[in-house]
């Protein structure tokens, strides 16, 4: 099996440190770190950027994850002025939320919404603002609080992003974060000496593909929602997943551990053991593995119950749901719970049938498009091809963007309809169409031919 799509990543850079299905680590600006554990004597401020890239009540878990992360950082001593939060903010007071004004990240868990800064909400949660925040460029912002990552060469930066993802991109409510653009922004931040070290935790399907061709990576798996309907511990009032498996694993580890004594490597191993449905991976500068989490997340000194030996591989998660299927599960739950013969049940049934029809339409459209472009025999091999490790997922990013971007230039959406979080699983196929040298004109003609006769489902 090829390994191109892990959903949790840790990337760690001394100039840029990150995590995929967990984390990434980037190299250190001063270049003098030899892998020793960072202590509290290490000077520099802590900064954080927290991003929930989705909207809609069925995506409850992403904003719950981000709010929980904020509470960890706040208790750890990071100041609100140094924590920048992106969240659509349509969950806490949503008409479907059974606990108005409250968001929880696990069954019977505490309210994680209270006190969270509303820096970038609604339409201000977009790729342009994210890039401007990371670069510290206030002039490029459109709306929001105006807070940016004003970190310097002695500072430590933590970025955490939770959302839907696919090959070469991450979701946003109204646009996408493309791998090439994100890498460019991180490289620019590095060149400007905008941090001493950076750690990036990423929860998204095929998260590793964001750095394919830049860092060695494994990239082809789905992210999983957890604390979902069907889990015996979930209160019956919830129809949606409360968290994501990788995310709740690292955060629940933080909740019970002394971050002054736990290293990035310690947390990676604990989270890896608990995240059994997909692989947690590390990328970047691995000399940072022995750094203490305290440097990036602070530490809750008031909690005397911390134990440095606690292991969150227990409790186990009784049910994890593929991120691509959480919306379907949400509609199924609404239909099941609605009173027989009620308008609510009719509405829920309509929503479920529309979602099923949409998924069938996307499956048909992509399959047929490949056959129109490459013929029936070759289509599957071309669309599903996985490039050798070390190569970017696509060579022509303009071609890729023109086909999938959330804009009037989106060829697929213009002719075939909304791609959606479910349809994002086909972005590798779209990248391969571009890699095969198909011109815009040919893609337009093939899309028109494919979707003019799409089945009525």
Residues annotated catalytic, as ranges: 164, 205
Rounded Cα distance, 350 and 353, in Å: 5
Rounded Cα distance, 442 and 211, in Å: 29
Q: Could you give the C-alpha distances from 240 to 56, 189, 222, 276, in angstroms and in order?
A: 11, 37, 18, 21
Rounded Cα distance, 411 and 409, in Å: 6
Rounded Cα distance, 361 and 39, in Å: 55
Tokens of 309: 């030996």
Q: Where are the alpha helices (DSSP H) in 167-319?
A: 179-191, 245-256, 264-274, 294-297
Residue 455's Cβ-count burial label (10 Å; 0-12, 13-18, 19+) is: exposed
Yes or no: say if 425 and 209 are a contact pair by the CB < 8 Å rule.
no
Tokens of 81: 């002025």
List the helix and strand counts (H, then E) for the chain: 14, 16
- To which residue do tokens 């099923």 refer? 356
Rounded Cα distance, 336 and 125, in Å: 33
Q: What is the DSSP letter of 121?
A: -
Please tell me whether the peptide bond between 222 and the residue prior to it is cis, using omega within 30 degrees of 0.
no
Strands across the sheet containing 243-244: 243-244, 224-226, 320-322
List Cβ neighbours of 276 (8 Å cut-off, separation of 6 or more). Answer: 317
């Amino acid at each position: 099996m090829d390994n191109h799509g892990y959903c949790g990543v840790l990337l760690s850079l001394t100039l840029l440190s990150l995590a995929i299905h967990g984390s990434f680590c980037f190299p250190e600006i001063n270049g003098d770190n030899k892998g020793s554990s960072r202590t509290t004597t290490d000077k520099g401020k802590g900064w954080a950027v927290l991003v929930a890239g989705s909207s809609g009540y069925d995506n409850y878990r992403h904003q719950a994850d981000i709010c929980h992360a904020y509470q960890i950082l706040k208790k750890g001593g990071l100041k609100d002025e140094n924590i920048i939060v992106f969240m659509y903010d349509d969950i806490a007071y949503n008409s479907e939320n059974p606990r108005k004004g409250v968001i929880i990240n696990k069954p019977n868990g505490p309210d994680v919404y209270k006190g969270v800064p509303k820096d970038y909400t609604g339409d201000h949660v977009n790729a342009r603002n994210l890039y401007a925040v990371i670069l510290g460029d206030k002039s490029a912002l459109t709306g929001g609080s105006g807070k940016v990552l004003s970190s310097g060469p002695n500072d430590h930066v933590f970025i955490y992003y939770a959302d839907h993802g696919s090959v070469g991109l991450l979701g946003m409510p109204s646009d996408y974060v493309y791998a090439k653009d994100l890498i460019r922004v991180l490289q620019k931040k590095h060149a400007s000496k905008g941090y001493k070290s950076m750690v990036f935790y990423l929860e998204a399907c095929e998260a590793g593909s964001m750095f394919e061709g830049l860092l060695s990576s494994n990239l082809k798996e789905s992210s999983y929602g957890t604390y979902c309907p069907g889990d015996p511990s979930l209160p019956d009032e919830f129809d949606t997943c409360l968290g994501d498996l990788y995310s709740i694993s690292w955060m629940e580890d933080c909740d019970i551990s002394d971050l002054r004594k736990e290293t990035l490597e310690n947390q990676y191993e604990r989270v890896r053991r608990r995240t059994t449905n997909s692989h947690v991976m590390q990328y970047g500068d691995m000399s940072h593995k022995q750094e203490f989490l305290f440097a990036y997340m602070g530490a809750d000194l008031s909690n005397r119950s911390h134990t440095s030996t606690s292991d969150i591989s227990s409790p186990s998660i009784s049910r994890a749901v593929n991120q691509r299927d959480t919306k379907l599960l949400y509609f199924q739950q609404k239909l099941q719970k609605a009173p027989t013969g009620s308008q609510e049940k009719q509405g829920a049934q309509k929503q479920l049938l529309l979602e099923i029809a949409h998924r069938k339409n996307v499956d048909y459209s992509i399959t047929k498009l490949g056959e129109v472009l490459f013929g029936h025999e070759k289509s599957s091999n071309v669309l599903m091809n996985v490039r050798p490790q070390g190569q970017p997922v696509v060579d022509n990013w303009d071609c890729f963007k023109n086909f999938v971007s959330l804009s009037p230039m989106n060829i697929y959406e213009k002719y075939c309809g909304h791609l959606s979080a479910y349809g994002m699983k086909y972005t590798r196929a779209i990248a391969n169409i571009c890699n095969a040298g198909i011109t815009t004109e040919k893609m337009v003609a093939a899309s028109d031919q494919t979707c003019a006769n799409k089945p009525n489902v």
